[in-house]
Amino acid sequence: MKRIDWKTLDEMGRVEALARPAQSRAPGLRQGVEAIVAEVRARGDAALFELTARYDGVELDDLAVTAEEFDAAEARLPAELKAAVLEAAGRIASFHRETAPVPVAVETAPGVRVERVLRPIRRVGLYVPAGGAPLPSTAIMLGVPATIAGCREVLLCTPVQANGRCDDAVLFAARAVGVHRVFKVGGAQAIAAMAYGTASIARCDKLFGPGNAWVTEAKLQVAGDPAGAAIDMPAGPSEVLVIADDSADPRFVAADLLSQAEHGPDSQVLLVSPSSGLLDRVEAEVESQLGLLPRANIAGMALGESRLVLVGGLDEALEVSNRYAPEHLIVQTVEPRALLDGIESAGSVFLGEWTPESIGDYCSGSNHVLPTYGYARSYSGVSVASFQKQVTVQELTADGLRGIGPCAAILAEAEQLEAHRRAVTLRLAAMDAVA
């Protein structure tokens, strides 16, 4: 891990120190995704069957997972794994229900009622990747808020395995949280199918979920097309920033850093501390623990783009963190909650030595689909609100319009929008005529 002394850097050096690994949007990737999207739009299911054979090496007869396949997957899963899925889903549902938006009605002036009503997005498409490893937790994180929001149709696409099946745990989780249909389709072709529709896969209004560079590029392309679909948020590789002082246990800090580094070679982890001694101890622990990991090679590549940042104090650590805007922010200090008010930009925050980021990934109740690559400056993680539309309603009485109509007329006149002004003044004149 590269070591940095923050106070010795000028502004350009600080920008470079917090730079993320470059995301590939090379012409070859863009063009390759464009070709896949165009093929799916033109030939629908036929293209999906061919692309699945080409990229996954599997010849399918049907794209949809059948009820019998769901039953068989459930039967094959260990009882403890099924129990863990249900336990996690229960806590996630509890948190998401309590934090869901609620309707609001306000009388902004006598006779003027303004409301916010909630409407679910009708049909949503969820993507659960299975490249490096299947992610049943993502099926839970996306399916639970979609169900609570009341989405009428919830579809899910996930890659097929060499045996012609989808991952058993993903199927169990999807059924457990209320997903309506699951399809054996992965990659950019799955995004295209859900965005534009095929004979088997209905066109969705909004797409959710992480994926590799091809999936991410496909989401960006369909989101930029008025005929395509909205997406949850821009995506990038997983990342964590840890703020720790000399009181932190270096074993815990190292484990937290490695838990993100093992996601992929383009993941990034940062440790920010005012203690040079802690940086030394954590660096040694990282080396020691790395050798114990089955995905040590992947984690090792990620560590090459990672940072140990020495700062002058915890206030400066917060400055570094807010500039970086991490997907995950872990605070392991003597008084971690004392730093919370100073945190401006982070996808999700983990306070104290007994709060590993892994808990948020799986079962604390929060959502693990979070903004990455600095988008935490302006985006939030997935929630029930992500699956809903907030519609405003206004209703005026005659007295209400009489009270606030002149305000609207003056503003419309200032903007030289005469029809706007007359829509108000004609009504006011009609009231005066009756009076």
Using one digit for the tens of pLDDT, what is the confidence trace for 173-187? 999 999 999 999 999
Say if residue 357 carries a ligand binding annotation: no
> Above 70 in pLDDT, residue 23?
no
> Above 70 in pLDDT, residue 430?
yes
From CA 364, how far away is CA 392, in angstroms rounded?
33
Class of domain 27-101+124-231: alpha beta
Under the banding of pLDDT at 50, 70 and 90, the label for residue 428 is very high
Under the banding of pLDDT at 50, 70 and 90, the label for residue 132 is low
What is the mean predicted confidence (pLDDT) over 298-315? 95
Give me the catalytic one of 217, 283, 285, 327.
327
What is the per-residue pLDDT for 21?
Answer: 80
> Above 70 in pLDDT, residue 383?
yes
Identify which has the larger pLDDT, 122 or 211.
Answer: 122
What is the per-residue pLDDT for 188?
Answer: 96
Under the banding of pLDDT at 50, 70 and 90, the label for residue 20 is confident
Amino acid at 119: R
Give me the catalytic one of 305, 328, 357, 368.
328
Closest CA to 321 of 273, 262, 285, 250: 273
Amino acid at 98: E
Q: Clarify whether 115 is annotated catalytic.
A: no
Say if residue 260 carries a ligand binding annotation: yes
> Above 60 in pLDDT, residue 24?
no
- Please indicate, yes or no, whether the overall pTM of this predicted structure exceeds 0.85: yes
From CA 251, how far away is CA 386, in angstroms rounded?
36
What is the per-residue pLDDT for 130?
Answer: 86
Say if residue 375 carries a ligand binding annotation: no
> Above 90 in pLDDT, residue 310?
yes
Q: Clarify whether 50 is annotated catalytic.
A: no
* Range of lowest pLDDT (127-141, 236-250, 253-267, 304-318): 127-141
Under the banding of pLDDT at 50, 70 and 90, the label for residue 196 is very high
What is the per-residue pLDDT for 431?
Answer: 93
Q: State which H helix or E strand residue 393 sits in.
A: strand 388-396
What percent of the chain has pLDDT above 70?
Answer: 99
Q: What rounded mean pLDDT belongs to the chain?
A: 96
Q: Which fold, 236-380?
A: Rossmann fold (3.40.50)
> Above 80 in pLDDT, residue 131?
no
What is the per-residue pLDDT for 364?
Answer: 97
Q: Three-state SS for 203?
A: coil
Task: Classify residue 83 by burial, with Cβ atoms within 10 Å: 0-12, 13-18, 19+.
Answer: exposed
> Above 80 in pLDDT, residue 50?
yes
Contact 394, 105 (CB under 8 A): no
* Range of lowest pLDDT (14-23, 216-225, 245-254, 422-431): 14-23
Say if residue 127 carries a ligand binding annotation: yes
* Range of lowest pLDDT (77-81, 208-212, 318-322, 427-431): 208-212
- Rounded to the nearest 5°, which phi and psi values hold at 330? -110, 130
> Above 90 in pLDDT, residue 403?
yes
From CA 320, how far away is CA 343, in angstroms rounded?
10
What is the per-residue pLDDT for 330?
Answer: 98
Under the banding of pLDDT at 50, 70 and 90, the label for residue 280 is very high
* Numbered ranges of CATH 3.40.50.1980 in the chain: 27-101+124-231, 236-380
> Above 60 in pLDDT, residue 198?
yes
What is the per-residue pLDDT for 291?
Answer: 93
Under the banding of pLDDT at 50, 70 and 90, the label for residue 342 is very high
> Above 90 in pLDDT, residue 253?
yes
Query: Which residues 6+ apart lie within 8 Å of 434 measured at CB?
Result: none
Under the banding of pLDDT at 50, 70 and 90, the label for residue 211 is confident
Say if residue 415 carries a ligand binding annotation: yes
